[in-house]
């Protein structure tokens, strides 16, 4: 069975090296890879699949932070579609952590 195109796009994104410096310029490859992930996923909300990449060890939390910030500006809703997913994830995570 062939792997879904968004999984290949996510692997490409996770392979992009991003600087940990706040004032560093990001490579064009990062923006291209985020755009490709959004296109292949078919929605601006890529928060859940980026989180899965972190849980699976394919991306660091720092990388995910950069990826999601770029996705917020690359999508059509300036991050609004992801905010609900992230809010639910954080609330669910908080409940799990305090249990």
In terms of residue numbers, what domain contains 86? 5-19+26-98
Q: Please, which residues have CB within 8 angstroms of residue 94's CB and are 6 or more apart in sequence?
A: none
What pTM was computed for the model? 0.78
Between 20 and 65, residue with greater pLDDT? 65
- Count of domains observed in the chain: 1
Contact 68, 50 (CB under 8 A): yes
Between 18 and 87, residue with greater pLDDT? 18
Categorize the per-residue pLDDT at 89 as very low, low, confident or very high, splitting at 50, 70 and 90. Answer: low
pLDDT in tens, 32-88: 999 999 999 998 889 889 988 998 999 998 898 899 889 988 877 766 667 777 777
């Amino acid at each position: 069975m062939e792997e879904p195109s968004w999984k290949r796009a996510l692997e490409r994104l996770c392979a992009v090296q991003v600087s940990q410096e706040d004032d560093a310029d990001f490579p064009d490859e990062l923006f291209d890879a985020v755009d490709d992930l959004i296109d292949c996923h078919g929605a601006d909300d890529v928060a859940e699949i980026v989180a899965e990449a972190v849980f699976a060890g394919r991306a660091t939390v720092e990388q995910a932070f950069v990826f999601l910030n770029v996705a917020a500006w690359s999508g059509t809703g300036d991050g609004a579609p992801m905010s609900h997913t992230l809010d639910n994830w954080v609330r669910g995570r908080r409940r799990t952590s305090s249990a």
